A and B are shown apart, each in its own frame.
Chain A
Amino acid sequence: MARNTDIPEQTRVSWPIVFRVSISGLQRRFGRAMITLTGVVLAIAFLCYMLVHEAFIRAMILADLDSLNILLQQNDIDIFSGGQMDPMTYLLIGLTLLTCLVGIINAMLMAVTERIKEIGTLKCLGATDQFIVRAYFVESTVQGVCGAAFGLLLGLLVAVLVTVRTYGGYTFRTFPLPAVLVSLVVSLLAGALLSITAAIIPAYMAARKQPIEALRVEE
């Protein structure tokens, strides 16, 4: 009776299609996505602000203009330290990113729990574990990268505004373009890494859900 040898393996859904399914889901759950996003935006904005601001201060110290040095000292900058951030600041940034990581994981786990029936249904329709992993991975990563991009712009903007308010035109006269670009890239990478790391656990949790959940009638 058994003739299991001729069962083909279920087709693997390609990335572009997974992407489209996930994105349409995100668009239609926009409000929820925005909340998850906000956490990433704020964390990356903070990181970016710190890095860019540091780059500005350094550039101004290196410029070594008398009037600027006075201005710097008036603002409690130790011009002999070269504008380096102290270890406490690094710790603060680290903690912010960690909080953000936990936040995304939490938001995504909630999304998985909320959609347990949906995942069950997808599996009844023939979705493989791999599809579910990919779909949640894409969802979480896209949210993270968008959040990081917004955070980047916000952080840059705030850093420029704050520096201009205190140092006026010096900000642009000593504008450290390469260092600012490096700060932006570092922030973006940190955001991407953060959201990809945060995606792993929820994606696997989602894939482990069983199709039997689809049949459970809630109430």
Chain B
Amino acid sequence: MVDFHKHLDAAEDAQRDIVIRAIDVKRHYHGSGGVVTKALDGVTLDVFRGEYLSIMGPSGSGKSTLFNMIGGIDSPTEGMVFIDEIDVAQLDSYELAWLRCHKIGYIFQSYNILPVLTAMENVTLPMIFAGNSPTEAREKGMAILETVGLGERAFHRPFELSGGQQQRVAVGRAIANDPVIILADEPTANLDVHTGAEIIELLEKLREERGITIISATHDMKMLDVSSRILWIRDGMVQRLEERKNLNIQIGGLEG
């Protein structure tokens, strides 16, 4: 039965559009005294357009490192990364800036909302970087803030917003330039269970309505429920990659 499923998946996979392709990616850190940390040690992974991929693994397993590689934030020691068919290694700093601006939306564990800017300014800044006029940006920014449920708080500064609201601003900012991919590294880690669930719901809504590919590292079992696939990594290597539907789990059961 399981084999049959696997077979079907493989056939399905061949049909699907690949948005990120990582080929044998390694990232080694050379520490003092010749110590080498193999944060990633040969990861090969295809991410499909419009899927919700969750990445799980114990602390130090290399989740964040993998994010940096597939988000064009850091370059691999070995191996190749293609984002929307673009070979990241060949980009100069201006092209990388363009890629980060147009193709990827980042969401961070600690929100990283710019403290001197209002919610609106935080959301419109990536549009300014993309070359939009401030007027265009403000119109679009308002629509986005309504989408993430912050229409009323558009002109508040971060210190006037709760953690969950700040993370909503971050989600809004991530979708400002209609990215292909949202990379979220433990987006709910600093939030309580309820607020975290709302953020996850919001991300899933964006995936469904706008076809944005979501890649999210998490320790949060609720996240698995909305995922299309789940990737487990351990010691910098892929341990397991599974379709959600093939996982015979009950969310409540796993949590304990």
Contacts and interface: CB of A to CB of B under 8 A. Distances in A.
29 contacts: A1-B85, A2-B87, A2-B90, A3-B85, A4-B90, A10-B95, A10-B129, A11-B130, A11-B131, A13-B128, A13-B129, A21-B125, A28-B157, A29-B116, A118-B115, A120-B112, A122-B125, A124-B112, A126-B97, A126-B101, A126-B126, A126-B130, A126-B177, A127-B97, A127-B129, A128-B129, A129-B97, A211-B100, A212-B73
Given A118-B114, A212-B74, A124 B100 contact: yes
Nearest to B133: A17
A215 interface: yes
B98 A7 contact: yes
A208 to B, nearest CB: 11
Interface in A114-137: 117-118, 120-129, 131
A213 to B, nearest CB: 10
B168 interface: no
B109 interface: yes
Interface of B: 21, 64, 67-68, 71, 73-74, 82, 85-87, 90-91, 93-95, 97-102, 106, 108-110, 112, 114-117, 121, 125-126, 128-131, 134, 157, 173, 177, 185
A7 B103 CA distance: 11
A66 B98 CA distance: 75
B21 to A, nearest CB: 8
B68 to A, nearest CB: 6
Contact of B98 (A1, A13, A126, A218): A126
A217 interface: yes
A121 B102 CA distance: 15
Given A3-B86, A218-B110, 19 more contacts: A2-B82, A2-B90, A4-B86, A4-B90, A10-B98, A24-B116, A28-B116, A28-B157, A123-B100, A124-B71, A125-B129, A126-B98, A126-B126, A126-B130, A129-B97, A131-B129, A210-B74, A214-B73, A217-B109
Contacts of B64: 215
A128 B94 contact: yes
A120 B177 CA distance: 18
B188 to A, nearest CB: 14
Nearest to A117: B112
Given A4-B86, A4-B90, A215 B129 contact: no
Given A125-B100, A125-B126, A24 B68 contact: no
A31 to B, nearest CB: 12
A9 interface: yes
Nearest to A9: B94
A62 to B, nearest CB: 53
A17 B134 contact: yes
B74 A4 contact: no
A8 interface: yes
Contacts of B126: 125-126
B97 A215 contact: no
A168 interface: no
Interface in A76-95: none
A121 B177 contact: no
A212 B76 CA distance: 13
Nearest to A17: B128
A25 interface: yes
Interface in A1-53: 1-4, 7-11, 13, 17, 21, 24-25, 28-29
A214 B87 contact: no
A125 B82 contact: no
Contacts of A125: 100-101, 106, 125-126, 129, 173
A117 B106 CA distance: 14
Contacts of B93: 128-129
Interface in A190-213: 210-212
Contacts of B99: 7
Contact of A126 (B100, B115, B117): B100
User: For B71, B86, B94, B177, which residue has the most chain A Cβ atoms within 10 angstroms?
Assistant: B94
Nearest to B93: A129
A124 B125 CA distance: 11
